[in-house]
Every structure is written in structure tokens, then in C-alpha cells.
Amino acid sequence: MLESTQLYAIAGIVLFGMGLYALIVFPHLLRKILGMNIMGTGVFMVFVAIGYRGLDELPDPVPHALVITGIVVAVCATGLALALATQIGIKTGTARLTPDVEEDDGS
Amino acid sequence: MVADIAFWLPLIILVPLLAAIGAFLFPRHSFRFAFIGTLVTAAVVFGSTGLLWQDKEVARHAVGGWGAPLGIDMVLDGLSMLMLLLTAVIGLAITSYARGYFLPKNNSSESWHQYNYFWPLWLFLWAALNALFLSGDLFNLYVTLELLGFSAVALTALVRKPAVLKAAMRYLLVSLSGSLMYLLGVVFLYAGYGTLDIALLGAVATNTPELVAAAALITVGLVMKTALFPFHFWLPPAHANAAAPVSALLSALVVKGSFYILLRVWLVALHPLADTFIPQLLSGLGMAAIIWGSLQAMRQTQLKMLVAYSTVAQLGYLFLLIPLLLRGRGDDIAPLAGIVIFLSAHALAKAAAFLSAGNLLYAVGEDRLSSLDGLTRKMPLTLAAFGVAGVSLIALPPSGGFIAKWLMLNVALEHGYWWLMIVVIGGGLMAAVYIMRVMSHLFLEARGHKSDVKPLPLCMSWPPFGLAVLAILLVFTGVLVTDMLVIGAPWLLEVAP
């Protein structure tokens, strides 16, 4: 039987992989940004699970403090990414990264 | 108190940070904040260099009085001091140059947008870099890495054109996935050893499957951010399309930030894996980067693309010696000195190259190599800067690039890695080809359409020349750099009884 810590940790790694897959495969920027968020959530889940020290003991506070910091960083990252995606949407009419960057210069 | 170096450590981060906040809140006075912030930061860095040189021992500052393992420690040793010094020197040049480059010539809102946002973002970037070089634990490094990435992406996106915005977006996505991989690796390390302090990890880490998994994640994440072949695809568009001072910052300093973490983590925390295939793989990718980047640089038709692909190639050299550096750890500082001098020479020369490329573009308004014909007479100082920087990039003697390659080759031959010599010399020859391509255009006779060359302000023509000359002068610093690196050399830090 899996311990619950391991279960959470494995689920976190699976989330990380799913997010990375979405980030690479989907062309639409919003999906990429969501994928990035899912990756981050996966990492945080692994981290929180590590802090578990049994039912009778208090959890390790260090991972929790770090996850909170990590969430702040992730919020900033999402904000910056969304702002950029919006600008790209306004300037090019589509929120996708077309394969060739040089080609559409000045369009 | 003033003579105590620990008093200065927080200031190295706080001064640029406060200046950035000031410049952001008071856009009318943004340059004033940047000007004062630059001078004070540089003064603090130069001052603490002197103090460290005098004390000859590692300086630590426990933030808020909480020491490791619970609190955050700032650590200043020889390696981080050299990186801070390099950043300060390039920072002085960038602030001077950017004043001329971004100063709005007309009342268009776009040029004011760039001018007003450049200063706070540049100071944030500087604060992030300084914090990165002073961090002693892995999580703090993650946060500074993200801060560095965000300000770098925002600086790239200052130019609001579709191609640039897309390049910035790609850069952001690569940068974020890289740092999340790094963070997952850090989580594995914490799970295995219960600490995030690099020095403490170095004392307890052993060659286990957990460490290998963590090392793989950390290395892949950082290599993506350092743009080592084959993860270099995002670099040329981002570095070539950004504004000239931003390109210089990205190529000279930002990619070096993640490389610095890689170096430090491998030297101390991941050292038990020194004999595995990962360092060898890094070295092999470095060779591939030199060959591929140089070939691409040779066939570019746009000046800034050429300089950006040259960065891809030159970053490869940083990785060549990693296996030898890790194997010879403890008894030989030469490989580390070679890597650090190469890094500094490339940073100075590449900043000079991008700034002079910016001058050429500023003067003719075009990026094509063929539009540069006959600019020699109009812009002798810029041409000299590009040429002198080129000498260091090709690594002709006497230059910083030359002495660094010399050190590297010595180490490589000592260990019987003679094939590195072929790559290093071949890379130098290819660098000569792409630098000479630019120079030959500059020296060609003008075909009668160069009457409209814009005059350059002094604050734009001198910084690239100064940086290029410093890249040459590095040839004399071999001994100084070695003496500095010995202060708290990473392997001495971890020696726990």
C-alpha cells in the first residue's frame, strides 16, 4: 500500500508532467499559461506532501513557508504572462506563437 | 561598523532595489534615481571588493539575525564577489549608454514608455542579479532566478512590436518551465536531506538515486535558462530583437546568472555525482553549442542576429571544462579560473559588441550587414569598440578571451582531453570568420548613401569602447582572479569535520 505522502507526491509529479505537456503541445497562449500553472501546482503539491511527519506530529513548517513564497512568485509569473499574451493578442490579432518569428515582422 | 563587510552585504541588494522603486513611483525623475542608484551600487560593490580583498575570508550576513538552517544567509566569497564586480562594471556602462539610447527625441508616447520603464526594470534586474550572487541557499536562488527572469522578459518586451513580443513570450515560457524544473529538483533535495543550504548539502549528499533525479531536474532547468545547445532556440530572437542596452544585459549578464547557479550547485551540493555521465554530457553539449552557434553566426545577414548566435557559441565554452573542474576539485583552481575569466571576458566583450551594434543601428537605422558599408569614417570609436571586442571574442592574444582559453587548454591537455583543443581552436577560427564579415562591411567604401548618419552623443560612443578595452585588459588579471577565487573556494566552504 502507498502511504498518503507518496500518493500526494506521485500525483504532484504527474501534474507537473501534464502541465509541461500542455505547455509544449498547445499553441494557444492561454493554454500554455494554464499548463505552466499546473506545473507549478504539481511542484507545490510534492513540496507540501514532504512536510507530513505522521498524524501525531506537527508538519514540517519549512516547506509550507516556501510554498507560500512559491505561490506569490507563480501569481507574478501568471500576471506577467497574461499581460504579454494580451499585448500579443492586440498587436497580432491572435494569442498564438506562430512558428516563424522573423517572418511576420512589421505586420 | 563601516569596515565590517557584513554591514555592506544587504546594501548591495537594497540600493538598486530602492532606486528601482523610486524610479517606478516617480517616472518624471526616473533617470535621476537610476543615475544615483547606479553610482551608489557600484561604489558599494567596489568598496566591499576592497574589504573582501583585505579580509581574505568569506563574509556572511544572517538576514534579520536568523542564521541558517532556519533563516536566510547572504554569503559573499571570491566567486560571488567577482560576479558582483563584473555586474557593476557593465552596469555603469549600461546606465550611461541607455541614457543616450532611450532619451526620447520626440514626444511620441512609445519612446517615453520605453524611457520611463527601462530604468526601474533595469535596476530591478540589477538587484535580482546581486541577490542571486549573494544567495547561499537553493530556495533563495530560485526566487532570485525568477526575479531575474521576470525583469529580463519585461525589458525585452519594452519594444512593443509583434516579433519582439513573441520572442519575449517564448523567453518567458522557457524561463518559467526551466525554473519550475529547478524547483522540483530542489524539492527532491529537501526530501532527501532536509536542508536547502548549499554548503550543508555538500557535507551530507551522497550518490543516491534521489540525488541523481534532483541533479537531472536542476541541471535541465538551469541549462534551459542558460540557453545551452539544444535549448538555445529562444535566445537569438529575444537577444537580437530587444533594444541594444537590453540585448547587452541579456547576453552579458542574465544568462550568466543561471550558469553561476549551475556552477555553484555542481561544485558543492551535487559533487558526489562528479563521475557520472551528466558532467560529460554537459561538456559534449558545450562542444555542440560552439560548432552550431558559430555556423549559424557565420550565415546570418543581420548584425544583431549574428552577435546573438555568437553568444550561443560562446556559452558552449563555459561548459567544456565542467567534468575536469569537478574531478580536479580540491587541488587545482585553474579550471575554475579559466571558466570565470572566460565568463568575464565574454560578458565585457559581448556587452561592447551589442552596444556598438546598437550604435551602428542608431546611426543608419537598419540591421542588415550590407547597410553598414563604409561606416568606418563616420564612427571610428564605435568601429574600434567592435573590433577590440572582436579580438577578445576570437581570443587573439593579448585579450581576456585568449588567457581564458589558454588556461582551459592547459587544463584539458594535462588531463589528456586533447580533443577539446580542436573544438576551442576551431571555435576561435569560426569566430574570426563571423567577426571579420562584419568588419569587412564596415571597411568597404560607402556607396554614396551615407550622408544621413546621425551623430552619436558621447554617453553612447564611449561605454562600448571602455568595455572592449576592459575585455582586453583582463589578460593581466589571471593571478588576481585566482587569488580572489581562493577566498572561500566552494570546496573549502563545505569541509565539515
Q: What is the mean pLDDT of residues B15-19?
A: 96
How far B162 CA sits from the closest chain A CA (Å)?
6
Determine how many CB atoms are found less than 10 A away from the CB of residue B55. Answer: 14
- Listing DSSP states for B394-450 in one string gives HTPSSSHHHHHHHHHHHHHHHTT-THHHHHHHHHHHHHHHHHHHHHHHHHSPP-S--
Give the residue from B166, B197, B309 with the most A CB atoms within 10 Å of its CB, the best one to mutate: B166
How far B193 CA sits from the closest chain A CA (Å)?
11
Tell which phi-psi region holds residue B56, choosing left (phi > 0), alpha (psi between -120 and 50) or beta: left
Alpha carbon B141 to chain centroid distance?
Answer: 16
pLDDT of residue B491: 56
Q: What is the mean pLDDT of residues B135-155?
A: 93
Question: What values do phi and psi take at A83, rounded to 5?
Answer: -60, -45
pLDDT of residue B446: 62
B96 has which bridge partners?
none
- Listing DSSP states for B355-396 in one string gives HHHHHHHHHHS--BGGGGTT-TTT-HHHHHHHHHHHHHHHTP
Going by C-alpha positions, the residue among B185, B176, B356, B160 that lies closest to residue B262 is B185
H-helix or E-strand spanning residue B59: strand B59-62
Instruction: Judge: A50–B187 Cβ closer than 8 Å, yes or no.
Output: yes
Residue carrying the nine cell digits 558599494: B44
pLDDT of residue B496: 38
Instruction: Judge: B173–A88 Cβ closer than 8 Å, yes or no.
Output: no
Which residue in B170, B184, B196 is closest to A97 by CB distance?
B170
Lowest mean pLDDT among A81-85, B311-315, B449-453: B449-453
pLDDT of residue B447: 61
pLDDT bin (cut points 50, 70, 90) of residue B268 is confident
Q: What is the mean pLDDT of residues B384-411?
A: 90
Which residues, in sequence order, are CB contacts of B290 under 8 Å at separation 6+? B313, B314, B316, B317, B320, B423, B424, B426, B427
B141/A contact by beta carbon, under 8 A: no
A70/B contact by beta carbon, under 8 A: yes
Q: What is the grid cell recorded at B215?
A: 541533479
Which residue in B183, B191, B196 is closest to A43 by CB distance?
B183
Alpha carbon B433 to chain centroid distance?
Answer: 24
CA-nearest residue to B153 within chain A is A80
Q: What is the mean pLDDT of residues B334-351?
A: 92
What mean pLDDT, rounded, does chain B reach? 88
Lowest mean pLDDT among A89-93, B324-328, B416-420, B481-485: B324-328
A30/B contact by beta carbon, under 8 A: no
Encode pLDDT of A72-91 as tens digits: 999 999 999 999 999 999 98
pLDDT bin (cut points 50, 70, 90) of residue B222 is very high
Cα(B154)–Cα(B166) distance, integer angstroms: 12
Q: Where are the domains of chain B?
A: 1-134, 136-273, 274-497
Give the residue from A16, A24, A44, A66 with the most B CB atoms within 10 Å of its CB, the best one to mutate: A66
Q: What is the mean pLDDT of residues B288-308?
A: 92
B178/A contact by beta carbon, under 8 A: no
Going by C-alpha positions, the residue among B261, B237, B250 that lies closest to residue B181 is B261
pLDDT of residue B374: 72
How far B21 CA sits from the closest chain A CA (Å)?
17
pLDDT bin (cut points 50, 70, 90) of residue A56 is confident
Instruction: Judge: B184–A16 Cβ closer than 8 Å, yes or no.
Output: yes
How far B480 CA sits from the closest chain A CA (Å)?
38
Determine how many CB atoms are found less than 10 A away from the CB of residue B136. Answer: 24
How far A29 CA sits from the closest chain B CA (Å)?
9
Which residue in B161, B162, B180 is closest to A43 by CB distance?
B180
Which residue in A23, A42, A104 is closest to B173 by CB distance?
A23
A8/B contact by beta carbon, under 8 A: no
A16/B contact by beta carbon, under 8 A: yes
pLDDT of B302 over the 60 cut = yes
Q: What is the mean pLDDT of residues A3-24?
A: 90
Instruction: Judge: A84–B161 Cβ closer than 8 Å, yes or no.
Output: no
A46/B contact by beta carbon, under 8 A: yes
pLDDT bin (cut points 50, 70, 90) of residue B263 is very high
B139/A contact by beta carbon, under 8 A: yes
pLDDT of B450 over the 70 cut = no
pLDDT of A107 over the 50 cut = no
pLDDT of B308 over the 50 cut = yes
CA-nearest residue to B184 within chain A is A43
Which residue in B150, B166, B196 is closest to A97 by CB distance?
B166
- Cβ(B326)–Cβ(B274) under 8 Å? yes
Lowest mean pLDDT among A20-29, B100-109, B379-388: B100-109
pLDDT of residue B363: 81
Level-2 CATH architecture, domain A4-92: Orthogonal Bundle (1.10)
What percent of chain A has pLDDT above 70? 89
- Cβ(B378)–Cβ(B363) under 8 Å? yes
pLDDT of residue A2: 65
- Say whether the peptide bond before residue A27 is cis (omega within 30 degrees of 0): no
Q: What is the grid cell recorded at B179?
A: 525554473
Give the residue from B169, B195, B368 with the most A CB atoms within 10 Å of its CB, the best one to mutate: B169
pLDDT of residue B122: 96
CA-nearest residue to B166 within chain A is A97
Lowest mean pLDDT among B50-54, B266-270, B420-424, B444-448: B444-448
Lowest mean pLDDT among B9-13, B197-201, B275-279: B197-201
Give the residue from B159, B173, B179 with the most A CB atoms within 10 Å of its CB, the best one to mutate: B173
- Cβ(B435)–Cβ(B307) under 8 Å? no
CA-nearest residue to A77 within chain B is B150
Q: What is the grid cell recorded at A48?
A: 507540501
- Cβ(B59)–Cβ(B493) under 8 Å? no
CA-nearest residue to B168 within chain A is A84
Instruction: Judge: A47–B187 Cβ closer than 8 Å, yes or no.
Output: yes
Instruction: Judge: B163–A102 Cβ closer than 8 Å, yes or no.
Output: yes
Q: What is the grid cell recorded at B423?
A: 573544438
A96 has which bridge partners?
A28
Q: Where are the domains of chain A?
A: 4-92
Encode pLDDT of B44-99 as tens digits: 999 999 988 888 888 888 887 777 666 788 888 889 999 999 999 999 999 999 99
B14/A contact by beta carbon, under 8 A: no
Residues on chain A touching B143 (C-beta within 8 angstroms): 69, 73
How far B179 CA sits from the closest chain A CA (Å)?
10
Question: What values do phi and psi take at B74, rounded to 5?
Answer: -95, 130
pLDDT of B459 over the 90 cut = no
Residue type, B243: A
pLDDT of residue A103: 43
Q: If you ran DSSP here, which 8-state letter would residue A56 be given?
A: T
A94/B contact by beta carbon, under 8 A: no
Burial of B163 per CB tally in 10 Å (0-12, 13-18, 19+): buried
Return the sign of the alpha-carbon dihedral for residues B265, B229, B250, B442. positive
Cα(B183)–Cα(B79) distance, integer angstroms: 23
Q: Is B308 helix (H, G, I), strand (E, B) or coil?
A: helix
Specify the higher pLDDT residue, B492 or B157. Answer: B157
Instruction: Judge: B180–A16 Cβ closer than 8 Å, yes or no.
Output: yes
Q: What is the grid cell recorded at B395?
A: 581570443
Which residues, in sequence order, are CB contacts of B492 under 8 Å at separation 6+? none
